[in-house]
Amino acid sequence: MSADWRRYLRPGVTLPFCPGCGHRLLLRHLLTAIDDMGMDIDQMLFVSGIGCGGWIPSPCINADTLHCLHGRAVPFAVGAKLANPALTTVVVSGDGDLADIGGNHLIHAARRNYDITVICANNMNYGMTGGQVCSTTPVGATTHTTPDGNTFNPFDLCALVRAAGAQYAARYLVTQGPELVGAIRRAIGIKGFSFVEAVSPCPTQFGRQNHLDGVKEAYAYVEALTIGKAACREPASPLDGRLLVTGEFANE
């Protein structure tokens, strides 16, 4: 892997992520994929919502970026894409933004099969607001709004968007660099709605609340939650909210 991804960073910008934040890795993988593909960055648009995930493209990526209302990155992207179909349009945002407050837009965009790519930086909680439960928080995990542990099953976002009509979905940990870069490349290359979930540890908020006292522990926690598609007999849903199945989910 080359250092070429850095040339897509906006000059003068200090990366805004906490120490150990997985989003920093996701940014690198995204830009590496774009570099690998030889994309014309001036014909790309990066759209993001509100939250830590929204800061991945804005202001970090030196391209057209649109930082939106909380939850609404997908409809902003849809409008831009329909108004200028030449734009390769990529949404990068968080799980709370895309799946909780913006969940309805997400499934409808998948259903209508707009030619956009949605990359979800899934850190399993609302990081920017201080660490609250969201629709991807594992059962039992502690957050500031679930002090006794989350009791609700999380979404399987890949299964959700696939059921809604997405052409392609993939899930990998941000530590699975080559796989994630490959998935992002395939997603951007697909004509139609594509979705990539990057499971991204949040040591600062999620980690501290769950007694994962270092970056290493936070990463070990999400790694323990995941299982490869091939290793999983039923690649359908995160079993009891404890497992995230990694791999690609697309039309055979």
Partner 1 sequence: MPWRRVRSVLEPGRHYFSGADATVEAAVAARCGYFAGYPITPTTEVLERIAVRFPEVGAAFIQMEDEIGSVCSCIGASWAGAKAMTVTSGPGFSLMQEGISHAIMTEAPLVVVDGQRAGPSTGQVLVGGGDVMQARWGMHGGMPTIALAPWSVQEMYDGTIRAFSLAERYRTPVMVMAEAATMHLREIVEVAPEVDLYERDKAPGLPPFGADSPDGVPPMPGFGEGEKLLVTASTHDARGFRRTEDAHTHRTLTARLFNKIMMHVSEIAEVEEHYLEDAETAFVAYGFTARSALAAVEELRRSGLKVGLLRLKTLWPFPKDEVGRLSERINTMIVPEMNLGQMIHVVAEVARCKLLPHQQMDGTVIYPASLIDTARSVVA
User: By the criterion CB under 8 A, which residues form the site for partner 1?
Assistant: 10, 42-43, 45, 47, 58-59, 62-69, 72, 74-84, 86-87, 104-105, 108
Tell the smallest beta-carbon distance from residue 16 to partner 1 (Å): 9
The minimum distance between CB 198 and partner 1, in angstroms, equals 22
Instruction: Identify the CA nearest to 108 among candidates 167, 65, 166, 53.
Output: 166
Would residue 52 be called left, alpha or beta, if left means φ above 0 and alpha means ψ between -120 and 50 degrees?
A: alpha
108 or 186: whose CB is closer to partner 1? 108
Asked if 46 and 57 touch (Cβ cutoff 8 Å), the reply is yes
Nearer to partner 1, 21 or 222 (CB): 21
State which amino acid sits at residue 8: Y
Q: How far is the CB of 18 from partner 1 (least distance, A)?
A: 17
Least separation, in Å, of the C-beta of 12 and partner 1? 8
The least CB distance from residue 46 to partner 1, in Å, is: 10
